[in-house]
Amino acid sequence: MSAPMSAPSIVPRCPDRVSRRPHRPCIRVGFSVKGEPDTPSREELGWRCPPGLPPKAWSTRFHVLADMIASTDAFASSSSSSKVVADLGCGHGMLALGLAASGRVSRAIAIDVSPDEIEVANAKAARANEAVAELLGATSPLPVDVRLGDGARALVPEDAADVVCVAGVGGRTMIKMLKAAGLDKPKPTGVRTDGGADGGADGGADACAGVTALVLNPPATDVPSVRAWLIETNAWIVRDERLVVENEQMHAMVAATRRDVSDLLEAPVPAASDAPVRVVEREPAHDADDDARWGGDGSCAGGGGEFAVVADVHVGPVLRVVKPKILGLYLRNRVEYFENRRRGALDELRRCQEAEARSPAVECSLALSSEDEDAASFLVEARARRRRAQAEVTRLSKIVGVMSTVLGEVNMKALEEAGLGGTLDLPQAR
Ligand SMILES: C[S@@+](CC[C@H](N)C(=O)[O-])C[C@H]1O[C@@H](n2cnc3c(N)ncnc32)[C@H](O)[C@@H]1O
């Protein structure tokens, strides 16, 4: 990752105001980052907006995705002149157009299930082709195929796709698309990529038999489940993970290399230490509004009540090695926030202990079987409150502990030297 262009300022925000553009993959971080601390400049990446198209349509997210695609083993270490990427759920087709215009792929296939999106993608491809012809006098169009279809079903084995990209699609849909394409299995040996049976009937599994890399950009909140799925299939090794902050939103991307079925016999199953660290922060759901505020769908039964997911920090093995600055900022924010809450929980525990000690049942040395029912029930309630407070302190201590460990791996000194320090006005502990 490159040096920042300018130091970011960090502004606290209400969680429900963070997703200004809900259709873009984003993570609710409870604060916004102004500036793009972890994002290479366009010049540094060497990618440009496809010709003939408005530069604004070519986002930094596309830059980084394009860079990740070009950096996969399938392309970066291949001497083959055939480098084919399939973008499933391409929307307006910008990524495929950008890749084709950059010359770093030999062909980009842009597929979307929506006729409206495909119409726009075709119009953009036509404009880019006109601009290429005008600017460069090129007679052959950009090597982009725009296709209407359901994921990899629109591919055929003759396409010989090497890399599949899925961006801006929810985690569940993404996994469904990948499974339908047979991408939940290692690469079969002796795959023919030069033709064969039509891939349409089986969801594109034949057409994807030669795929060796995936580049995925689910909504940041779905990255944990997508990453876990990649690891669980035993078919993929996570090679690259990047975080980008753009328009005050955090985007997360994961690239993986496909294992070959023949290496599986010898290659060990990834060690537990390679597995991602997961911290799921949950807290009791207070009311429907609160649930909605935090996304609602994260609620689950446990510990005697409904819980809403407050945040789901998932630090994958690659991010832990790369230690991007935005991860440091995010973790520092959360460590401080949960440390404040832990202090609040400790105060509550002290109050509960005092109340328990002052209980009339204790003071009068009455047993719970005492005839003084009021005193006995006061003591039962005080004990239950103290146990809940104790459980809360334990829970918050665990979160702070794991987050601090990961934060310790991020070089905060380098971060501050780069002007990325700064203090956060944290939300108040409740
Ligand atoms: C939010 S857009 C993302 C567009 C683009 N990939 C990006 O990252 O900006 C998601 C797109 O996925 C498409 N999509 C969803 N399910 C699909 C499927 N099964 N096959 C093809 N496209 C699909 C939708 O039509 C939509 O255009």
Q: What's the CATH number where 170 sits?
A: 3.40.50.150
* Weakest-pLDDT range from 114-123, 375-384, 396-405, 406-415: 406-415
- 287 located within any domain: no
* CA 312 – ligand 1 centroid, Å: 24
Residue 219 beta carbon below 6 angstroms from any ligand 1 atom: no
Q: How many domains does the chain fold into?
A: 2
Instruction: Check whether residue 69 and residue 195 sit in a common domain.
Output: yes
pLDDT at position 321 is 61
- 25 located within any domain: no
* Weakest-pLDDT range from 147-161, 215-229, 301-315: 301-315
199 in the Ramachandran plot: left (φ > 0), alpha (ψ -120 to 50) or beta? alpha
Residue 91 beta carbon below 6 angstroms from any ligand 1 atom: yes
Instruction: Check whether residue 338 and residue 268 sit in a common domain.
Output: no
* Weakest-pLDDT range from 3-17, 151-165, 281-295, 329-343: 3-17
* Cα distances (Å, whole numbers) of residue 109 to 18, 36, 50, 91, 148: 33, 30, 15, 12, 11
* CA 91 – ligand 1 centroid, Å: 5
Q: What is the mean pLDDT of residues 315-341?
A: 71
Residue 238 beta carbon below 6 angstroms from any ligand 1 atom: no
Minimal-distance CA residue to ligand 1 atom 7: 168
Are 293 and 265 a contacting pair, CB within 8 Å?
A: no
Instruction: Check whether residue 256 and residue 349 sit in a common domain.
Output: no
Instruction: Check whether residue 332 and residue 269 sit in a common domain.
Output: no
Name the residue of 169, 244, 247, 251 to mutate for ligand 1: max ligand atoms within 8 A of Cβ.
169
* CA 418 – ligand 1 centroid, Å: 37
* CA 261 – ligand 1 centroid, Å: 30
For residue 153, the ligand 1 atom closest to its alpha carbon is 20
pLDDT at residue 307 tops 60: no
pLDDT at position 124 is 94
Instruction: Check whether residue 158 and residue 101 sit in a common domain.
Output: yes
Instruction: Check whether residue 263 and residue 340 sit in a common domain.
Output: no
Q: Which residue has the higher pLDDT, 312 or 422?
A: 312
Residue 218 beta carbon below 6 angstroms from any ligand 1 atom: no
DSSP E strands in 170-234: the ranges are: 213-217
- 34 located within any domain: no
Residue 113 beta carbon below 6 angstroms from any ligand 1 atom: yes
* CA 28 – ligand 1 centroid, Å: 21
Instruction: Check whether residue 263 and residue 396 sit in a common domain.
Output: no
* CA 191 – ligand 1 centroid, Å: 28
pLDDT at position 403 is 72
- 88 located within any domain: yes
- 428 located within any domain: no
Q: How many CB atoms lie within 10 A of CB 408?
A: 11
Q: What is the mean pLDDT of residues 198-222?
A: 78
- 263 located within any domain: yes
Instruction: Check whether residue 258 and residue 349 sit in a common domain.
Output: no
- The range of the structural domain enclosing residue 169 comes to 61-244+252-276
Alpha helices in 72-151 (DSSP H): 73-76, 94-102, 115-136
Minimal-distance CA residue to ligand 1 atom 12: 89
Q: What is the mean pLDDT of residues 154-181?
A: 95
pLDDT at residue 31 tops 60: no
> How many whole angstroms separate alpha carbon 428 and alpha carbon 194?
61
pLDDT at residue 199 tops 50: no
Instruction: Check whether residue 267 and residue 335 sit in a common domain.
Output: no
Are 318 and 241 a contacting pair, CB within 8 Å?
A: yes
- 208 located within any domain: yes
pLDDT at position 2 is 37
- Give the model confidence (pLDDT) of 56-84 as tens digits: 777 878 888 998 899 898 888 777 888 99
Instruction: Check whether residue 217 and residue 334 sit in a common domain.
Output: no
Rg of the chain over all Cα atoms, to the nearest angstrom: 26
Instruction: Check whether residue 206 and residue 337 sit in a common domain.
Output: no
Instruction: Check whether residue 233 and residue 343 sit in a common domain.
Output: no
- 350 located within any domain: yes
Residues whose CB falls within 8 Å of the CB of residue 398, separated by 6 or more in sequence, listed in order: none
